Amino acid sequence: MRRMARSMMTAAVTVWIGISTAWAHHSTGLFDGHAIVKISGTVAEFRWINPHASIVIEGGTAESSQGKWIVEMMAPTAMMDEGWRRDSLSIGDRVTVFAHPLRNPAEVNGITRVLYSGIVLPDHTILGQIRALRSPENLERPDQGTRARGSR
């Protein structure tokens, strides 16, 4: 009987640790879900990998000088439901990305992390879950040097 209770307790603790680790890994609490930054720049890297895709952008916002931005994204399978494909971006593409900044912004090795919310692709395709993408002021052509407007 003690052995069974110990086994059940071990199983419960293992499940609890697994759930809390997964929740912590997938938490977006580090990012400000109410603020949006508009980053215009050039794709330096596009990683279509699990568990999360990402884009490295060389560009900036109206408030920041030019720099590197890592745009953290969802899993590729979830992004496909939104219209993304493995070949949606190429290195050198000019894009405008809308993203949630860190609550406590900080550059690490000259790179700023943000959480993806939406994008205007070079062919003017709009992908994302943000209403701001639908306004005409945000649909300027990325290849014409769109000036970022910063946080909203």
50-89 per-position pLDDT tens digit = 999 999 999 988 777 788 999 999 999 999 988 899 999 9
pTM above 0.85, yes or no: no
* Domain shared by 74 and 119, yes or no: yes
Q: Report how far residue 150's alpha carbon sits from residue 152's, in angstroms, rounded to the nearest whole number.
A: 7
Domain count of the fold of the chain: 2
* Domain shared by 22 and 42, yes or no: no
96-136 per-position pLDDT tens digit = 999 988 887 777 777 888 888 899 999 988 888 755 555 55
* Domain shared by 109 and 57, yes or no: yes
* Domain shared by 7 and 82, yes or no: no
The amino acid occupying position 20 is S
**Tokens standing for residue 36:** 């949006």
The verdict on residue 152 lying in a domain is: no
Residue 91 in this model has a pLDDT that exceeds 90:
yes
Number of Cβ within 10 Å of residue 59's Cβ equals 22
**Tokens standing for residue 78:** 């979830």
* Domain shared by 12 and 43, yes or no: no
* Domain shared by 49 and 103, yes or no: yes
Q: Is the dihedral of CA 122, 125, 128, 132 positive or negative?
A: positive
Q: Report how far residue 70's alpha carbon sits from residue 13's, in angstroms, rounded to the nearest whole number.
A: 35
Q: Which residue segment(s) compose the domain that 5 sits in?
A: 1-29
* Domain shared by 75 and 121, yes or no: yes
The verdict on residue 3 lying in a domain is: yes
User: Of 143, 70, 124, which Cα lies nearest the Cα of 100?
Assistant: 70
* Domain shared by 60 and 135, yes or no: yes
* Domain shared by 63 and 95, yes or no: yes
The verdict on residue 68 lying in a domain is: yes
Highest mean pLDDT among 20-24, 55-59, 111-115, 142-146: 55-59
* Domain shared by 48 and 24, yes or no: no
CATH number for the domain that contains residue 82: 2.40.50
